[in-house]
Amino acid sequence: MAKVLFINPLVREEDDPKHIPMGIAQLCSIIIKKGHLVQVFDQNAWRVDDETIVSVLKSDNWDIVAIGGITTAYSSIKKIIKLTRSVLKNTVIALGGGVLSSMPKDILKWIPEIDIGIIGESYVTFPEVLSMIDSGKKNWEKIPGVISRSENDYIFSEQRDLIHDLDSLPYPAYELFPIEEVYFKNSALMYSEEGMKATRRLDINASIGCSLVCKFCYHLGIAGDMKYKKDSDGKVLNVEFDTKNNYTRNIRYNTPEYIANLVLYLKKKYDVNFINFLDENLMTMDVFSKRTWLKEICRLWKEAGLVPKKNKDGTWKGVHWSGTSHATLCNKEVLKMMADHGCSHLVYGYESFDDRILKTIGKGATVKTNLRSFFWTLESGIRPIPCQMFGFPDDDFESIRKNMRAWDELGIVVKPTFATAYPGSEWYTKYKDKILDQYKGVGKKMGLSDDLEAYIVDLGDATRVTGVISKNFNSVELIGLREMMLQKQYHKVDEYEAQWNEKNKSKKVLESQKSLSDENQTNILNIN
Question: Tens of pLDDT along the chain (528 residues)?
Answer: 999 999 999 988 778 899 999 999 999 999 999 999 999 999 999 999 999 999 999 999 999 999 999 999 999 999 999 999 999 999 999 999 999 999 999 999 999 999 999 999 999 999 999 999 999 999 999 999 999 998 889 999 999 988 999 999 999 999 999 999 999 999 999 899 999 999 999 999 999 888 788 888 876 556 667 888 888 888 899 888 766 666 667 788 999 999 999 999 999 999 999 999 999 889 988 988 999 999 999 999 999 999 999 888 877 899 999 999 999 999 999 999 999 999 999 999 999 999 999 999 988 899 999 999 999 999 999 999 999 999 999 999 999 999 999 999 999 989 999 999 999 888 998 999 999 999 999 999 999 999 999 999 999 887 778 899 999 999 999 999 999 999 999 999 999 999 999 988 766 554 554 454 444 444 433 433
Query: 92-96 and 116-118: which strand pairing?
Result: parallel
Taking the model in full, what pTM does it have? 0.90
Distance CA 133, CA 126 (A): 11
Contact 277, 262 (CB under 8 A): no
Look up the CATH superfamily of 187-211+251-419.
Aldolase class I (3.20.20.70)
Look up the CATH superfamily of 3-156.
Cobalamin-binding domain (3.40.50.280)
Beta bridge partners of 472: none
Label residue 455 exposed, middle or buried (CB < 10 Å: 0-12, 13-18, 19+): buried
Beta bridge partners of 208: 252
Phi, psi for residue 203 in degrees, rounded to 5: -100, 150
Distance CA 20, CA 45 (A): 9
Phi, psi for residue 344 in degrees, rounded to 5: -100, -35
Beta bridge partners of 99: none
Closest to 16 measured CA to CA, from 186, 176, 174: 186
**Residue 198 to residues 192, 233, 276, 425, Cα–Cα distance (Å):** 10, 57, 11, 34
Distance CA 434, CA 431 (A): 5
Distance CA 461, CA 11 (A): 10
* Torsion angle, alpha carbons of 387, 391, 395, 399, to 10: 40
Question: What type of residue sits at position 108?
Answer: L
Label residue 322 exposed, middle or buried (CB < 10 Å: 0-12, 13-18, 19+): buried
The total number of residues shown for the chain amounts to 528
| 528 Cβ contact list (under 8 Å, min separation 6) | none
Distance CA 384, CA 154 (A): 47
Helix (H, G, I), strand (E, B) or coil at 52: helix
